[in-house]
């Protein structure tokens, strides 16, 4: 399949060589100049995008490495060849968060909705999605909105009720929403009112009561990556989420400031996926909120792993299948206690010899992606806990050899395969940097190394991401 796509690309290139592209127009080449990009929106095709910019569809495909014209997804950024570069000096790159709308962003940055839509070539002004990158022009003459949140008017609400419930003066609420002072304004269910706050308040977003702030990080989400969710409510609530067919819990010590981590499968289809959160307040008051979230493709390589004849029997699905099921049993439960704090450290001082996500062929018999990363280290080198956790497995496996699994809480687990010795027992609480075993070559291994794996909610994610930043 990859060879076929390469041949298609070569064919496109030869076609374009015979028919030159439209010459690039003169444009800014100063600081901040950038090529024209187009963000794919719902219902668009590569042909319609090319026609919109007056360029050849093959040129767009070649410029973006697209072998199949149907292989584009909503939210994908395409470079449009043959177009003048645009000088974005002074502009702000902003990544859309849940609850952002063109209206709230325009008010926050002191620009117009029409101008924001035009700069970003948005066909639909109501179709922002979480993870989308927008360019925002330098502030104009419009006043910027104060930080705060939105309140959705409920049946029976009065302006005085809302002001008292939100702890603010009635006149301040009128002023923040441009409501008349000389008469009682007519409110209607579903109407959104801005509830301004001080400098410590969250940025203005269109979020339903009782949510006053909701962020995902990092954005956009990538295949094989983990992300944090932080959600603040005006009143105590219990929250569960649903994303890509999997549910997860958000944890809060005070009932108002909620957090969770979630893993995106390495093979998740790129494009938009719905993230839903469900809230339960006192007296079983229920509410929900959903947003479309962009998932982008990861950039992973390929490896061929030669396997000696004596080890090829381990590749039998009758062996690998039950062991994968065993790992799921140990590395999926959600522990409400969070043991770790801050970024993880590397469990080995060895050099990284194979990265997460690499597509692997084992002796041409078995293909899968690498669910962790390998450290090349001499036999007997120490294996250290990268963060605090509780040992939930310590023993021998047929494929992974002598193994240790740590539960770090909140659905975060780490695994250590192919060890020569395991120094911990089930139930032990380990501390960061503690030696938990020794590097070896047990199980399906062709030489001494440590395979380190991190799973979030049962999904393998890139361990390096956990050493580069702190979650949540």
**pLDDT for position 15:** 42
Could you tell me which of 290, 287, 206 has the C-alpha nearest to residue 242? 290
3-state secondary structure of 295: strand
Mind listing the pLDDT tens digit of every residue in the chain (472 residues)? 444 444 444 344 434 333 333 333 333 444 456 778 888 887 888 988 888 888 888 889 888 888 888 888 888 989 888 777 777 778 889 999 999 999 889 888 888 888 888 888 887 777 899 999 999 987 765 556 667 777 778 888 889 888 887 778 888 888 888 888 888 888 988 888 888 777 677 788 888 888 989 999 999 999 999 999 999 998 999 999 999 999 999 999 999 999 999 999 999 999 999 999 999 998 888 999 999 999 999 889 888 888 888 888 888 889 989 999 999 999 999 999 999 999 999 999 999 999 999 998 887 766 889 999 999 999 999 999 999 999 999 999 999 999 999 999 999 999 999 999 999 999 999 999 999 999 999 998 989 999 999 999 999 999 999 999 999 9
CA separation for the pair 69, 19 (Å, rounded): 19
CA separation for the pair 168, 427 (Å, rounded): 51
**pLDDT for position 30:** 46
In sequence order, which ranges of 54-169 are alpha helices (DSSP H)?
A: 57-63, 102-109, 113-119, 159-165
**pLDDT for position 153:** 85
Could you tell me which of 128, 131, 129, 93 has the C-alpha nearest to residue 218? 131
Strand bridging mode 286-296 / 221-222:
parallel
> Is residue 230 within 8 Å of residue 213, measured between CB atoms?
yes
**pLDDT for position 9:** 44
CA separation for the pair 74, 420 (Å, rounded): 48
Residues 6 or more apart in contact with residue 206 via CB below 8 angstroms: 99, 100, 101, 103, 104, 150, 192
CA separation for the pair 107, 16 (Å, rounded): 45
Nearest-5° Cα angle at 70, 67 to 72? 85
> Is residue 409 within 8 Å of residue 269, measured between CB atoms?
no
3-state secondary structure of 65: coil
Tokens of 342: 């801050």
3-state secondary structure of 209: coil
**pLDDT for position 27:** 37
Could you tell me which of 125, 124, 434 has the C-alpha nearest to residue 416? 434
Domains of the chain: 2-136 (3.10.350.10), 148-196 (3.10.350.10), 212-296 (2.60.40.770), 302-468 (2.70.70.10)
Q: Phi, psi at residue 107, to the nearest 5°?
A: -70, -35
**pLDDT for position 171:** 87
Residues 6 or more apart in contact with residue 277 via CB below 8 angstroms: 211, 214, 231, 239, 240, 241, 242, 250, 288, 289, 290
């Amino acid at each position: 399949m990859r060879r076929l796509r390469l041949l298609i690309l070569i064919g496109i290139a030869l076609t374009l060589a015979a028919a030159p592209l439209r010459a690039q127009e003169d444009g800014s080449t100063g600081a901040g100049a950038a090529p024209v990009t187009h963000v794919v929106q719902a219902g668009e095709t590569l042909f319609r995008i090319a026609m919109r910019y007056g360029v050849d569809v093959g040129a767009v495909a070649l410029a973006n490495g697209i072998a199949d014209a149907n292989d584009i997804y909503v939210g994908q950024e395409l470079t449009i060849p043959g177009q003048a570069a645009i000088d974005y000096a002074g502009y702000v790159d902003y990544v859309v968060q849940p609850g952002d709308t063109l209206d709230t962003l325009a008010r926050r940055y002191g620009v117009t909705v029409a101008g924001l839509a035009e700069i970003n070539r948005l066909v639909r002004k109501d179709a922002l999605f979480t993870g989308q990158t927008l360019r925002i022009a330098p502030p104009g003459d419009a006043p910027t909105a104060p930080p705060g949140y939105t309140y959705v008017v409920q049946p029976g609400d009065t302006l005085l009720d809302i002001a008292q419930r939100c702890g603010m003066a009635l006149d301040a609420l009128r002023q923040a929403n441009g409501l008349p002072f000389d008469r009682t304004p007519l409110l209607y269910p579903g109407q959104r009112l801005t509830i301004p706050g001080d400098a410590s308040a969250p940025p203005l977003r269109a979020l339903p009561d009782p949510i006053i702030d909701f962020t995902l990080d990092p954005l956009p989400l990538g295949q094989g990556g983990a992300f944090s969710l932080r959600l603040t409510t005006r009143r105590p609530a219990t929250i569960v989420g649903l994303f890509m067919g999997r549910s997860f819990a958000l944890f809060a010590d005070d009932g108002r400031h909620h957090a969770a981590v979630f893993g995106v499968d390495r093979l998740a289809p790129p494009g938009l996926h719905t993230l839903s959160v469900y809230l339960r307040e006192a007296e079983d008051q229920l509410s929900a909120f959903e947003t479309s979230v962009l998932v982008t493709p990861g950039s992973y390589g390929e490896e061929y792993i030669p396997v000696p004849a004596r080890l090829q029997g381990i590749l039998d699905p009758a062996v690998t299948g039950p062991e994968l099921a065993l790992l799921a049993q140990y590395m999926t439960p959600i522990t409400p206690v969070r043991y770790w704090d801050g970024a993880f450290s590397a469990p080995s001082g060895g050099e990284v010899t194979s990265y997460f996500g690499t597509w692997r062929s084992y002796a041409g018999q078995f293909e899968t992606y690498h669910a962790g990363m390998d450290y090349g280290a001499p036999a007997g080198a120490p294996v250290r806990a990268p963060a605090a956790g509780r040992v939930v497995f310590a023993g021998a496996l047929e494929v992974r050899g002598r193994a240790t699994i740590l539960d770090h809480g909140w659905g975060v687990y780490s695994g250590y395969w192919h060890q020569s010795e395991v120094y911990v027992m089930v139930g032990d609480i380990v501390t960061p940097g503690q030696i938990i075993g020794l590097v070896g070559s047990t199980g399906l291994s062709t030489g001494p190394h440590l395979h380190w794996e991190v799973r979030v909610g049962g999904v393998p994610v890139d361990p390096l991401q956990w050493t580069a930043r702190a979650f949540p």
